[in-house]
Structure 1
């Protein structure tokens, strides 16, 4: 039976957004790669009563709860204390870990501060989990149905402990599972709801599930293969790309250098932009040095005017993003054969989101041209009000 796994992230800085919780995302992905899928995630501040209440509640509903953070030497690090209170047991000094910490300080020719003793105070009967990197040991405690594993919040320490200490324990407790395989596809121009309508109604091979994540300027689609055959995963990928493959911007990770670099290295590029606020130039600079960028004011705001201006100003290949006009923002691609222009309506109010979308729309036109695909297509998130092709 599939274990119910939950994650708890602690700390006021995480709860208020002062620190971005990258640990929870990494943990979810790493566990999935091992064949275990996280069911729920929680974030709690440095409040003892909130932690005690959450630990007691989840102990009846989960098989495994991984708690991240709150194991430091300061007064706001209260994860061990809260766990002891939830379980109705005292804290006790772990002499072994105290000696380990003292040795770590001695090896650095430093005296261990008194406050570090707190990191060796563990709930009575807890199983110590070694931390070869830092001074905060992890530990495991069983309460009711659940096993609680406590880990430090420092990412490098968490990752080392997961690989060396925790994943082997999970295999013992819950049985070795076949690792899940996840293939990631970054699509541009489609809305999350529209994509869901196109994909969710289809029959997918056994053992394959789909996941979505919208993050401007793209939508990430994941094919998650849990105990599925390689043939089933290959079939699912063919099925996905047959439906939305022309919108595929990148695989595995959104790395423009990796996905567009080989195409842009084929020939030097000239770039002109206004409404995108320099975003196109900035993005291309991370891909190739073989281009000439111009961030200008006063570019045309109508499709034909921008196309004719670009033909006079460059020999090609060239991209231009004009000014915003009543019909939207014209985006043009000049090649040796012709100049293609489409006027796109950007409905997002956030200036950075608008610039990102326009920059990637221009890059997508170039990608399509170099990949021998239709250059001007319907984008769900960027309605087109006008298209035209000007002969060279």
Structure 2
């Protein structure tokens, strides 16, 4: 019998949508029938039908709006009708799926992708939805170990770890030197001449260090702290036996905080650029000397995964699932501490050998992570087990 898996998610513009699309594609390839219930704009962005899934529009928006809840629940109940297993992604989708299945005997799974970082009334509302999602699901999956512990604390019947692997990046399309010149670093950007030793793949001694950050310009990423760190390393920069100047920072990503961050860059007179949304992350990583992540929380950072796979040294905040993800293959610093972040970046700037060591360790660590096929097998087996379990009559 062909199992019908209904995947449910809310409004998404990034990682969760990509993950669900790739999950849908993998399940279809393995012979499952897959339907996706999500907002119409999410369906258009990620093209679920192009990977062989059915798409059923349901307005699961980002706003917490109890007044519209009943309408959305009815639409979702209709959208998942006939599914053998319903798998919701995120707190809102999980809570709504729990309500939609309240009088049905369909097994359900919820994946928690993010911690609740809101405060005040919004935090209380989201926590209520989180508890509802966790208690109604047969199995709760956490994208990081702390999310699994959170689900257990809320009373989950069965909580398990299920990592979210970053999709493989395509090969770079441009030469490293070309991208570096476009970003204002390297010999072609007016830094003079001279040669460096071989640790960094033939870089010139006068090339400036390029620090890359990747992620949405949103509060969770705490780019304000990263910019304050950039001010510190810019002000404290001094010759260290070569004409290398202060590192240049570029941030790839769009989002609601762009205007505020640009104002901070201008006020501090930083050598930093907001690149906006980019689709050439492989090119940017090939050009970068290190990746910096300043987030207040991450489950399993896609940017960190991509950087370590590419052999780019990582400086990141020790939050959420990042310590387990990176272990000793990255420099980890406390969140919200620009001095610690600046000191870690400066340490790597001044030590090419340390950068090379971390690059090699990062590649080695990345080779130990579960890949997409292993994660797909884990979920496929879970769905089959749940669908085969005797249900109430």
TM class by shorter chain equals under 0.3
TM-score under structure 2 length normalisation: 0.26
More strand by share: 1
More helix by share: 2
TM-score under structure 1 length normalisation: 0.26
Larger Rg: 1
